[in-house]
Structure 1
Amino acid sequence: MLDANIKAQLKAYLEKLVDPIELVASLDDRPQSAEMRGLLEDIAGLSEKVSLLENGVDARRPSFTIGKVGERARIRFAGLPMGHEFTSLILALLQASGYAPKIEDSVVEAIRSLKGPLRFETYISLSCHNCPDVVQALNAMAALNPAVENVMIDGALFQDEVNARQIMAVPSVYLNGEPFENGRMTVAEIVARLDTGAAERDAARLAEQAPFDVLVVGGGPAGAAAAVYAARKGIRTGVLAERFGGQVMDTLAIENLISVPHTDGPKLGRALEEHVKEYAVEIMNLQKAEALVPGGAGGYHAVRLGNGAVLKAKAVILATGARWRELNVPGEQEYRGKGVAYCPHCDGPLFKGKHVAVVGGGNSGVEAAIDLAGIVGHVTLLEFGDALRADAVLQNKLHSLANVTVIKSAQTTEVTGADGKVNGLAYTDRTTGQSQHIALEGVFVQIGLLPNTDWLKGTIELSRFGEIVIDARGQTSVPGVFAAGDCTTVPYKQIIIAMGAGATASLAAFDHLIRSSAPAA
């Protein structure tokens, strides 16, 4: 099942096992069970601390559990954890044996205090780059707390369950049989959802923070760069982030970050956080800014958070990034996660053999249509303008595909559905004015980005697109408040440009602090 190189690497990891573990398989006569048996035999053959049994009684077949010998197994894989999920398997083997997961002590303490039973079911696709983070978070929780269980379920392998629960987006998590959450989540986010007192404790802790010299709002590439540059000046620096890594965490392949030929979003997001942690930076993750209150002459700027806490700083750098732009048509929100999707890489496999639409004719839309064409039965791409905007090489590839239809001058007007899921899309032909309807089962929205600046309206100058207006130094319309990255008027929304803009804004903020603290001549 595993080639020699992977076996050698896996053997090295298994040398870190703490206590003996056993793999208990529930198999049938399908080819996937034979593959699973081969995988588990390979693993068991690499360490004396791993044993394999085939007497499992799980109704989901093929599946297997991982547990410490003599204890009830709490980690289960229903399907082959290969592709993006192979790392989830390795970590599960180690953590089930007693190897400590890399989680902050405060979060570990919160996990161990959770009351159960908490039985999680996590539906994934093996091509989903967000799914492993959720699987690994829940598996780590199961390893730390006997009241927690988690099973990873490959949606492509258990289509009957996917159809019965009308799962059309991954990762999709159920808790004790009821829907819990869709989309990427960190272990801290999951614990915060389960620990009802977490918000109050966070508010109390943050309220005790002394004023910062520089407070960075946002933890993406721009925010991380700004924090590193500020911290290297030896000034008190804080980073406030809803999710460290930002939109980068939802990006698949990254191949244009100069000097890094190949990486992916989650890997880069983790690297950004680790780099910031090398400095004396106060990181306040999972916190949402709700209002900016500019300071007066010589006063502190204030940022009010969603939990009621208020942070103060001499200078503020806004790096809140952007989010996927929505269609804002009837049916989009109603059927979100029930046929309306924004990530073709994650959710595409759930639409195997079906008819889907992609809305958007730029690079992201055409790339999505090309990727989906290899999975689904048919793709209809709708473009608002009278011509596609994607690069020529992408358009040539798109037009070479037999199961793709391109409709131009199409204004999407409604996502239709029945029985709780999408059944079509309505659009207006902008050339003739006629209304049209396409019968389909999925709609992938790929129409660009929207800056995360709603909370700043009326406080600082925004462009007509909602972007923060900045000068060449990153200065906004409010003295002492700077901005960087995709939330600003800087042209070209790219990771490397955001990093440079973050450094620029940070240097400008430091210069502002020096000048504003200098004695009068």
Structure 2
Amino acid sequence: MGDEVGLHPGGAFAGDPQVLQSLFGFLDKPGGAGRIGCCFPRRTVLRRSAGRCDDKERKYEYGESPGHEVLHAAHGSRRGVRLMIAPEPAHPHCSVMGGKMLDRDIQGRIELIIIGGGIAGAAAALRAAQNHLRTIWILGDAGTRKASRAAYVRNIDNMIGVHPDIVRGKVLKSLSRDHPVAARMVEEAHMHISTSDLVENARERIVRDFAGMVTEVAERVIQVRQDGALLSVEIAGETRYVAPAVILATGVSDRQPVVHRQKGDRTLAGIHWLFPFANQETLLYCIRCEGHMTHGRTVAVIGAGATAAEVSLMICERYDAPVTLLTAGEEPTWGERRQRLLAAMGVEVVAGRLVDVRGQDKGATLHGFTVEGGRNIDVELAFVVMGLYRVAHRIVQGLGVDLEENDLPEEERHVLVDADSETSVGGLFAVGDMTRHRHRPIMKQVYTAQEYAVRAVDKVDAHRRQVQRRRLLGED
């Protein structure tokens, strides 16, 4: 559609004074069209006519033709974009602009709030749209998205059906023999399907096929509170949404190994030197998603806990890959039996802090690590297995949500849920990596996140329909 975006059927509101961006989702994206989830006539389009969101006024055209337009000026701020409606009325002959003013009591129509912009949140949002639940989807801000594990797990070709060869095969078949140059380019192209691709596809499908059902909000959530029989979600800027159900899909953050680089007489400690390698899939995080990539390659596992030892053993057992276990300066805690197994499988344990990570091509090629004392460990791939830095449930701590029982700090403990992903707080669901099911082991894959997101949304939908049936029969 280029710079045109189809919008949701609803009332026109020329002359309305001001509407917060948080009611509309993404009004503007750098380099692309605006995206709005609700509250405009479907047949209209919004054309971006000038500039980025840069705290300066700019113009938008509204309507199907130059003769049927209302000018809108928008400006940006750190808290998002405000949409300013021009005071002049709609063109008298524009049927598109006819109809009622926007129902400003949008709060009373929200049936579900989803918090989290990763795989689990996207799966929940798509199912909510398919079930025709009026939903607010809070994706978080740039900071929360950067901290997400989904940002670093890019290759999910371990899943059946999610593989680039499917796309490649269909494109090559359509090109047939008539376009040999294009066919060769397709054969050589890198087409890995990542978690971010799945999320973006879900967003596109929601806008295209279920316009108006889901409103996106690009803000950070401050807190979730009980509000009578409802749940209240407060976001940055003191905006509040209230709904009978909330799905929490805020994920986890992994602990990252610190690299202590020497610069002159100073030591610079940081994790940012590793990011290019994580972005290029030479630094990996998920043994189930990416373990098969280690076959025939030299591997380092970074960590000092029992899980790091188990991942090292698993790579040896499954893929017959030579493994070096780097403790990154931490004291090993994997126990005597695992130590004997590591030795029996030829896994060398190297103590000492990391002082350098070596590679080229902006992380696409990993050469290895340097540890204290100057020893170089030459490897082609590395797995980070240092445990969790945080399970992102702080925003619901005030509700008294049950967490798993163990000796870990509270911020590292998973949220306990039942078979339908509901927490100990009625109406509050949790899905994805942040959860642990009460009677099942922890499962952290794209397909399990999707399954339990669907279960959560279906339970919300079932409750909604039961309420509607009771009202229909006068049973309330």
Measured against the shorter chain, the TM-score band is 0.5 to 0.7
Partner AA of 1:346 in structure 2: N
Aligned residues of 1:359 and 1:383 also touching (Cα < 8 A): no
Question: Partner residue of 2:315?
Answer: 394
- Shift in alpha-carbon separation, 1:271–1:365, aligned structure 2, 3 A: closer
CA distance in structure 2 between the partners assigned to 1:225 and 1:365 by the alignment:
21
Confirm or deny that 1:295 pairs with 2:214: no
> How do residues 506-517 of structure 1 correspond to structure 2 at under 5 angstroms?
506-516=457-467
The one of 80, 88, 103 equivalent to 2:33 is 103
- Shift in alpha-carbon separation, 1:259–1:512, aligned structure 2, 3 A: same
> How do residues 106-505 of structure 1 correspond to structure 2 at under 5 angstroms?
111-112=51-52, 114=54, 197-199=77-79, 201=81, 209-211=106-108, 212-242=110-140, 247-262=149-164, 263-277=193-207, 278-279=209-210, 280-297=212-229, 300-326=230-256, 335-339=269-273, 341=274, 344-346=277-279, 381-385=302-306, 388-390=309-311, 394-395=315-316, 401=322, 405-406=324-325, 410=327, 412=328, 426-428=329-331, 437-438=352-353, 440-442=355-357, 445-449=384-388, 450-459=390-399, 460-464=401-405, 465-490=412-437, 491-505=442-456
5+ residue gaps, structure 1, are 1-15, 17-99, 117-194, 350-357, 413-425
Aligned residues of 1:222 and 1:499 also touching (Cα < 8 A): yes
CA distance in structure 2 between the partners assigned to 1:510 and 1:467 by the alignment:
25
Q: Secondary structure at the match of 1:500?
A: helix
How far the C-alpha of 1:248 sits from its partner, in A, is 3.3
- Shift in alpha-carbon separation, 1:441–1:257, aligned structure 2, 3 A: same
Question: Partner residue of 2:179?
Answer: none
Partner AA of 2:356 in structure 1: E
5+ residue gaps, structure 2, are 3-29, 36-45, 57-74, 86-103, 165-192, 262-266, 337-349, 358-368, 370-381, 406-411
> How do residues 12-51 of structure 1 correspond to structure 2 at under 5 angstroms?
none
- Shift in alpha-carbon separation, 1:368–1:199, aligned structure 2, 3 A: farther
Aligned residues of 2:301 and 2:308 also touching (Cα < 8 A): no
- Shift in alpha-carbon separation, 1:107–1:241, aligned structure 2, 3 A: farther
Query: For residues 457-505 of structure 1, what are the alpha-carbon distances to aligned partners after superposition, in whole Å with 9 as ceiling and x for unaligned?
Result: 2312222443222111222222222222222214310001111111100
Partner AA of 2:154 in structure 1: L
Partner AA of 2:246 in structure 1: V
CA distance in structure 2 between the partners assigned to 1:347 and 1:506 by the alignment:
34
CA distance in structure 2 between the partners assigned to 1:499 and 1:487 by the alignment:
13
Q: Percent identity?
A: 19
- Shift in alpha-carbon separation, 1:113–1:387, aligned structure 2, 3 A: closer
> Which of 1 and 2 has higher RCO (CA within 8 Å, sep 6+)?
2
Question: Could you tell me the TM-score, scaled by structure 1's length?
Answer: 0.48
CA distance in structure 2 between the partners assigned to 1:316 and 1:236 by the alignment:
12
How far the C-alpha of 1:240 sits from its partner, in A, is 0.8
Partner AA of 1:265 in structure 2: T
- Shift in alpha-carbon separation, 1:364–1:501, aligned structure 2, 3 A: closer
- Shift in alpha-carbon separation, 1:437–1:383, aligned structure 2, 3 A: closer
**Cα root mean square deviation, aligned:** 4.6
Query: For residues 220-274 of structure 1, what are the alpha-carbon distances to aligned partners after superposition, in whole Å with 9 as ceiling and x for unaligned?
Result: 2222222222223333222111169864343221113332234223322221211
CA distance in structure 2 between the partners assigned to 1:231 and 1:508 by the alignment:
14
CA distance in structure 1 between the partners assigned to 2:446 and 2:285 by the alignment:
21
CA distance in structure 1 between the partners assigned to 2:194 and 2:286 by the alignment:
24
Q: Secondary structure at the match of 1:473?
A: coil
Q: Secondary structure at the match of 2:219?
A: coil
CA distance in structure 2 between the partners assigned to 1:384 and 1:272 by the alignment:
36
Q: Secondary structure at the match of 1:437?
A: coil
Q: Secondary structure at the match of 2:111?
A: strand
Q: Secondary structure at the match of 1:390?
A: helix
How far the C-alpha of 1:114 sits from its partner, in A, is 3.8
How far the C-alpha of 1:455 sits from its partner, in A, is 1.9
Query: For residues 39-88 of structure 1, what are the alpha-carbon distances to aligned partners after superposition, in whole Å with 9 as ceiling and x for unaligned?
Result: xxxxxxxxxxxxxxxxxxxxxxxxxxxxxxxxxxxxxxxxxxxxxxxxxx
CA distance in structure 2 between the partners assigned to 1:319 and 1:256 by the alignment:
22
Partner AA of 1:456 in structure 2: V
Aligned residues of 1:287 and 1:306 also touching (Cα < 8 A): yes
Q: Secondary structure at the match of 1:512?
A: helix
Aligned residues of 1:227 and 1:281 also touching (Cα < 8 A): no
Question: Partner residue of 1:157?
Answer: none
CA distance in structure 1 between the partners assigned to 2:285 and 2:162 by the alignment:
29
Query: For residues 365-385 of structure 1, what are the alpha-carbon distances to aligned partners after superposition, in whole Å with 9 as ceiling and x for unaligned?
Result: 9789889959xxxx5745433
Q: Secondary structure at the match of 2:352?
A: strand
CA distance in structure 1 between the partners assigned to 2:80 and 2:354 by the alignment:
48
Question: Could you tell me the TM-score, scaled by structure 2's length?
Answer: 0.52
How far the C-alpha of 1:288 sits from its partner, in A, is 1.1
